[in-house]
Chain A
Amino acid sequence: MKILFRGLVPICRKEALHIVRDPGTLFFALLIPMLQLFLFGFAVDTNIRQIATVVLDESHTQESRQLIQRFAASDVFAIKGEAGSRDGLYDVIRSGKARVGIRIPYDYARQLQNGGTATVLVLVDGSDSTVAAQAVSTSTGVALQQSLAQVLPTGNMPVEVRPAVLYNPSTRSANFFVPGLVGILLQVMTILLIALSLVREREHGTLEQLIMTPVAPLGLMLGKMIPYGVMAFAELCAILLVMRVVFLVPIHGSILMLLLLSLPFLLTVLGLGLVISTRARTQAEAFQLAMGTILPSVFLSGYIFLIENMPPFFRAVSSIIPTTYYIRILRGIILRGAGFTDLWREATVLTVMGCAAILLAARQFVKQGAQ
């Protein structure tokens, strides 16, 4: 045991000195994730409201004005003005001034009165698929409501759905996105700090010196991981505090369990940072490699896009990304109040990944020492 981790304590102490001696790096390492949390936490809102809409009302009747009123009342559409002609309607959408165009035909009121089908054209700009989907479904809903009001003058609906949204009742985007963001920010900061610390030793030639000493590879690796792990853990606490206090995301589960189940993730990202540091010759290279881990973690971890909707290949990729599991832990505990019995699998996967990464880094390190 002692031989396996030889050098751990002095390396740990030295690394802590490096951190304290360089307050600039310390400050930015802790501050930048915090700034990003504020920036992205406020910017990201996937609930689509107030889509710019223009109307071409050829009917000019009480009925057509009532329909426009219903569109406006939905909060999804914001009526920005009227188009003069059919071509004008297309022009406005093409130029990007509006995303939705509604044309109510001249015979709209007549068709309603005669019991025929009044056709309303809704033009939707499909360049943003979420906006388009929201516009289509809401306009269909508006038409349905209007039709029902027409055939059921009493106003009593035969069937009514009462949706009860559990765990995030107001369906606030922040509640969904900020917990995921915690994982992403923690990952970037931790990987970068530890990878740079080891590559710096390579650049300065101190690594060459260290491999000539009896320091064991695992002693070196863990000696680096402990101080940076402590730093990352402190940052996690700070980020969670901001999430709770500033973004008002309630934590439904146990905070203690959340912190405890964050440890396997920290282990994994620290290990990942070490693996990167064995590949990189220069700090710039390490920086690029660390940045390279961000995009997959953002797009394939379920942070933004549903994993269930991905093609099988990307679902497989997402299952080897550590962030996938940590985001499940974060959302599980924060949003649904899940506990250890729900999340032990995720924690186990992360622990295994972390240990594998550390062993891989140690092995790689021994091999390189020989060159």
Chain B
Amino acid sequence: MAEAITADRLTIRFGSFTAVNDVSFAVPAGEIFGFLGPNGSGKTTIIRALCGLLRPSEGGGTILGMDIRKDAPEIKRHVGYMSQKFGLYEDLTVGENIAFYAGVYGIRGAAAEARKREVLELTGIEHYLDRRAAQLSGGWKQRLALACAIIHSPQVVFLDEPTAGIDPVARRALWDLLFRLSGEGVTFFVTTHYMDEAERCGRVGYIYMSRLVALGTVPELQRLPLANPPGTTRVQIAIANPSTVLESLRRMPGVREATIFGQFIHALVDSDQLPALKAGLPQGQIEPITPSLEDVFVTLTTRIMETAQ
């Protein structure tokens, strides 16, 4: 089976509000699929629908070939889920949390012991076995949450903003773990707000106002026509004190977007105005660049808002 997760024209309405509008995608087995979008754009709703908790208003989807409309109980047994809140019992120890989730997934006896040892080894949390979850740092809590989420050896794991509020070292450790598991064939569906995390994903989907507006690998997205409107050039401007220049730059003719990246300004400029811009900023060094993922999403979002108006 090639596709681990599919959504086919998935639409979910709550009363008159459409939370997910005509979303289709397919995630092959073993891929780490990144899902981005502003808060409230429908990311969590899609996860809930794919796990069978929500009946789609229209369209459908599959998890490991199982229909999300009909096979919800079976899907739950094969899917792992970890949220930003971790879902840990703070007054229980690491071992008790893992044992609880093993029990909930119906893993008992010797099988439970063996699997518990496996996830402990994998997440490296065995030293803290008898420590209460409340006493763990954010990074260790996150690993424990992952250990609990994969205790039943799921082939598909949904991670809903798993790294919010976690320090960079712990984030990297988690991603190393995800790559290791995906190498073993586990499919990950990860929502995030971090662009660097999105860039680690095999493919990325961007959802905006309930619609999936972009889908592809990071290079594909960077070449997207919508993000690179014809007749425009994306440039990097190296200039002293970029923050003092930014406002006047934004008012110059032909400048569509401008934002600061460290010592540089990234701007989207009408190509025919480029010579004028160069003349206007004699002290700056201007060179064309490919857009960053953030550039792509910002341009996409503004274009969509413009066409909506």
Chain A contacts to B: CB under 8 angstroms: 3, 6-7, 9-11, 13-14, 17-18, 21-22, 204-206, 208-215, 369-371
B contact residues around A210 at 8 Å (CB): 87, 104
Give Cα A371 to B17, complex, Å: 13
Q: Is B89 an interface residue (CB 8 A)?
A: yes
Give Cα A11 to B83, complex, Å: 20
A contact residues around B92 at 8 Å (CB): 14, 17-18, 21
A contact residues around B51 at 8 Å (CB): 212
Extra A-B contacts (11), CB below 8 Å, given A10-B102, A205-B85, A214-B77: A9-B103, A18-B89, A206-B85, A206-B88, A206-B89, A208-B83, A211-B53, A212-B79, A214-B105, A369-B53, A371-B14
A18-B91, A21-B91 known; A215+B81 contact, CB < 8 A: no
Cβ proximity bits B102-137 to A, threshold 8 Å, 1 near / 0 not: 111110000000000000000000000000000000
Give Cα A21 to B92, complex, Å: 8
Instruction: Give chain B interface residues in 52-107, CB to chain A under 8 Å.
Output: 53-55, 73, 76-77, 79, 81-92, 96, 99-106
Q: DSSP class of B's interface residues: helix, strand, loop or mixed?
A: mixed
Chain B residue at smallest Cβ distance from A12: B103
Give Cα A213 to B51, complex, Å: 10
Q: Which of B55, B76, B79 has the most CB of A within 10 A?
A: B76
Contact A370 B103 (CB under 8 A): no
Q: Is B9 an interface residue (CB 8 A)?
A: no
Give Cα A139 to B105, complex, Å: 75
Give Cα A13 to B102, complex, Å: 13
Q: Which of A6, A14, A205, A209 has the most CB of B within 10 A?
A: A209
Give Cα A206 to B86, complex, Å: 7
Contact A370 B83 (CB under 8 A): no
A contact residues around B106 at 8 Å (CB): 6, 214
Contact A370 B105 (CB under 8 A): no
Contact A13 B103 (CB under 8 A): yes
Q: Is B256 an interface residue (CB 8 A)?
A: no
A3-B73, A369-B53, A370-B54 known; A206+B96 contact, CB < 8 A: no
Q: Is B193 an interface residue (CB 8 A)?
A: no
Contact B87 A205 (CB under 8 A): yes
A contact residues around B104 at 8 Å (CB): 7, 10-11, 210, 213-215
Contact A214 B53 (CB under 8 A): no
A contact residues around B102 at 8 Å (CB): 10
Shortest distance from the beta carbon of A204 to any chain B beta carbon, whole Å? 7
Contact of B90 among A204, A211, A213 (CB under 8 A): A204
27 residue pairs A–B, Cβ–Cβ below 8 Å: A3-B73, A9-B103, A10-B99, A13-B100, A14-B96, A14-B100, A17-B96, A21-B91, A204-B89, A204-B90, A205-B86, A205-B87, A206-B87, A209-B82, A209-B87, A209-B148, A210-B87, A210-B104, A212-B51, A212-B76, A213-B104, A213-B105, A214-B77, A370-B48, A370-B53, A370-B55, A371-B54
Give Cα A10 to B106, complex, Å: 9
Shortest distance from the beta carbon of A344 to any chain B beta carbon, whole Å? 38
Contact B76 A208 (CB under 8 A): no
Give Cα A215 to B55, complex, Å: 19
A contact residues around B55 at 8 Å (CB): 370
A contact residues around B86 at 8 Å (CB): 205, 209
Q: Which 3 A-B pairs have the closest CB atoms?
A: A209-B87, A205-B85, A10-B103
Shortest distance from the beta carbon of A9 to any chain B beta carbon, whole Å? 7
B contact residues around A370 at 8 Å (CB): 48, 53-55
Give Cα A210 to B76, complex, Å: 11
Give Cα A9 to B102, complex, Å: 12
Chain B residue at smallest Cβ distance from A208: B83
Give Cα A172 to B106, complex, Å: 56
Give Cα A212 to B85, complex, Å: 14
B contact residues around A204 at 8 Å (CB): 85, 89-90
Shortest distance from the beta carbon of B206 to any chain A beta carbon, whole Å? 24
